Chains A and B, each alone.
Chain A
Amino acid sequence: MGKPMRDATFLILAALADQELHGYGIIGEVKALSGGRLVLGPGTLYGTLDRLTEQSLIRPTRTEVVDGRLRRYYGITSEGISAVNSEADDRAATLRAATVRLKLGLRGALA
């Protein structure tokens, strides 16, 4: 098991799992995926995108200009898909373990 991903990294990869998105689109998707708990700022977003590009987990795909603003789209790579799958499995396992503990604790409190 590797080092756990930060929430921002995991959610950005998850946001890109099924579609190519530009910076603003990624921020919106991450906000939706996290239920509004995580709103990325531009500094955090582009720092994370840089790191993920260096690690070949995502790649820039195309650029377009909308309303005079440059938009670069990013897509996930096969390495990125593997990484996000593995992280999702780890998080699910942690959640299952925590849920079992909570149920045991609840039973103990009720008994």
Chain B
Amino acid sequence: MSNERQVRTLMRAWPRPDRIERGDEIVGTTLDLLREGITHLPVHLAVNLVLGGLQARWRMRPPLWRWAWYRMGGRLPTRWHRWMLNDLTSPGWRRRMVMSRAIAVGFGAIIGVSATQIVLHQTDGFTPTIFLVSGMLIGGLLGAITRSRKDRDRQLVRNGYHWPPSNDPPWPPPPAPTTSDQQRPGAIGRRPT
């Protein structure tokens, strides 16, 4: 495997937006660091590259409570819009959306059923509980799958973005922090305020 391929493979540790916007730059700098004739990437460089990517992923993500709020359909502050846009538009968005809804529905079902049991003083026999939780989970999952596209679009609009992206004259690009010198063609435009 060539050095460039090795570096590009390790770049998978970096968040997707970083790979798109500055992957070539990071790969170029890493290759510049290699002396001529080296056929394998030194371990310390590989580790540094991967750790840097994981840290970039961590920095990009909203904190847990903001994430939970966002998963319930809430808005995120601009600082995390770059992560949100990636979450909602990159491959796997439907799986992420359905999984998070399933977890939310699961928690809701457990809390709801437990509360019902306490209120009704029903302490014996868990069969109805299991049926209830399973039914709510299956119903919630089916609902999440069938509504996922609409939910995704609504989430984007709620956070101030056009969706689907139009060919209108471009709005000012989202104030994504580190990255964009320019907006990529077809990227999502910010709605006017």
Contacts and interface: CB of A to CB of B under 8 A. Distances in A.
Interface of A: 22-24, 27, 41-47, 49-51, 53-54, 60, 63, 69-72
Interface of B: 22, 24-33, 44-45, 48-53, 55-56, 59, 177-178, 181
A42 B33 contact: yes
Nearest to B7: A42
A42 B177 contact: no
A69 B31 contact: yes
A63 B182 CA distance: 12
Contacts of A50: 56, 59, 177-178
Contact of B29 (A23, A47, A53, A54): A23
A39 B48 CA distance: 11
Nearest to B181: A60
Nearest to A72: B25
A70 B52 contact: no
A60 B1 CA distance: 32
Q: Interface centre among B53, B59, B178, B181, by most A CB within 10 Å?
A: B178
A43 B29 contact: no
Nearest to A45: B29
A53 B178 contact: yes
Given A50-B56, A60-B181, A70-B24, A43 B32 contact: no
Given A60-B181, A63-B181, A70-B25, A43 B53 contact: yes
A24 B56 CA distance: 19
Contacts of A41: 33, 44-45, 48-49, 52
B28 A70 contact: yes
A46 B45 CA distance: 13
A70 B27 CA distance: 9
A35 B193 CA distance: 51
Given A42-B33, A46-B26, A46-B56, A54 B49 contact: no
Contacts of A23: 25-26, 28-29, 32
Contact of A43 (B22, B31, B50): B50
